[in-house]
Amino acid sequence: MKDKKTGVTKKIEYNTPLVDVCCVVGVESLLRNKCPVDPYAKPLAERFSDFFIWNNSARIIIPTGPKVLNQEGVVGVPSLIEELIKLDRDVVKIEVCLLDQECTIREEKLFSLFRQFVKWAYMRKNIINSLIRLHSEEWIKEYHDKRLSGRYVYNVDNLISSDESFIASKFLNIELIDLCYLFDLSLRYQLYGEYIGSGKYYLSHPIREEQNYSNVKKKKVRSNSIPIRLGKYLVEEYAKPGNLNLFSAKLHEARAIIRDLKLQDYGDSLIEIDIIREVASKLKLSPRIKKYDEIIKYSKMIPIVSTGIKIIDTIWEGKLPRNFANIKWMQWAYEWDMEQESYENKNLLR
C-alpha cells in the first residue's frame, strides 16, 4: 500500500509491538567500547529489556530507500538486533518502511514544527549535544548510509537556506545540518506510527516521544501490565561496554525463565517473594546481605566496632558478587533488590 502524500509503501506483516532504530541505537551505545552514550541510554535499555522479555514477539521498523531493494535481506540492521535474531529468529521480526521518495510536509507546517522543536531543544542543550556526538559515530552513519541515500527522510532540506533556521542553529550553538538531522529524527514518530497496528505498543526514542507537535496526531497505544520489571536489574548488572553478546544472551535467558515459570500470564498480579528470588538467582543478579542497612545502623551504636563499621560502610554497600546468587545454602543470608517488586503490582510496559 503506497501513501500518495508521503510516497511510503506500507507492508504491515506483523500485528505485534514495535520498536524503532533510534531507540535500539541508544541501547547499543551502552554496549559498545569507547562510544559516546545516548543521554537516554539507561532508561531506554531498561524499557527495551522489558519490551523484549515480556512480549511474545516484536518488530523493529527499518526505514529503507529504493537503492537497496535489489539486495538480499535487509541492510543496516543494528548489531544488537542481529544478535537477538541470531539467538532466536522468531522473537524479533524486521518491518521494512520502504521510502520510494522523500516524505514531504508542506512548508508552512514544516517551519511551524521546526519552531516547536527548537524550543524543545533549547531546554535540553546538553542532551542535544550528546545526541549529535553519538549520531556522528561511524557505526551509526554506516547503518544509515546502507539503507538511505540521503541524510534526511523528510524534506527538511527546505530549512537549510532559510534565515530562520540559520539563526536557530546559532542560538543553540549547533551546526545547522546537525539540527536538521535531529529534527528529521523527531518527525519520524508520525511515519512509524502508521506501522503500529491496532492498539499495539510502540517503544520510541524520547526525541520523538517528548515532542508535542501541533497538528501531528499521536497514536494511542496500549501499555500492557506486567507483574515485575526485570529491565533495570539486567541493565545494571550486564549492560556494560563490550557486553553486547552477553547482554543479548541474558535477555533471551530472562525470556525463557519467565515462560518456564508462566509469569507472562500474571498480568498485574503480585508475584510471590520466593518466585522473585528464584528468578533473580537464575539470572545471577548480585544479591546483598539481608537487612544490611539495619546491621550497619545498630553496629554503629556499639563503641568497640563503630570505627570499623564506618570504614566498611564507606567502601561496601552490602552487595555480593553475582557468583553468590546460585549458592543455595547461603541464600537465607541475603536478598535481592528485585524483591521490592512484589509490592508493586502496577508495572506498565512502557
Domain spans in the chain, listed from the N-terminal domain onward: 8-224
Condensed to tens digits (0 to 9), the pLDDT of residues 236-270 reads 999 999 999 999 999 999 999 999 999 888 776 67
Least confident of 5-19, 115-129, 172-186, 317-331: 5-19
Q: Please give the average per-residue pLDDT across 61-79, as a whole number.
A: 75
pLDDT tens string 94-153: 888 888 777 889 999 999 999 999 999 999 999 999 999 999 999 999 998 888 888 899
Residue 214 vs residue 340, higher pLDDT: 340
C-alpha cell, 305: 566496632
Q: Which neighbouring-strand residues pair with 334?
A: 289
The answer to whether 241 and 34 have CB atoms below 8 angstroms apart is yes
127: region left, alpha or beta (phi > 0 left; psi from -120 to 50 alpha): alpha
pLDDT at 67: 66
pTM over the 0.85 mark: no
- Cβ partners under 8 Å of residue 335, min gap 6: 277, 287, 288, 290, 291
Q: Does the pLDDT of residue 32 top 60, yes or no?
A: yes
Mean pLDDT calculated for residue range 162-183: 93
Q: Which string of DSSP letters, residue by residue, matches 34-77?
A: T-PPPTTHHHHHHHHHHHHHHSS-EEEEEEE-GGGTTSSS--S-
Counting runs of H as helices and runs of E as strands, what totals does the chain give?
A: 15, 9
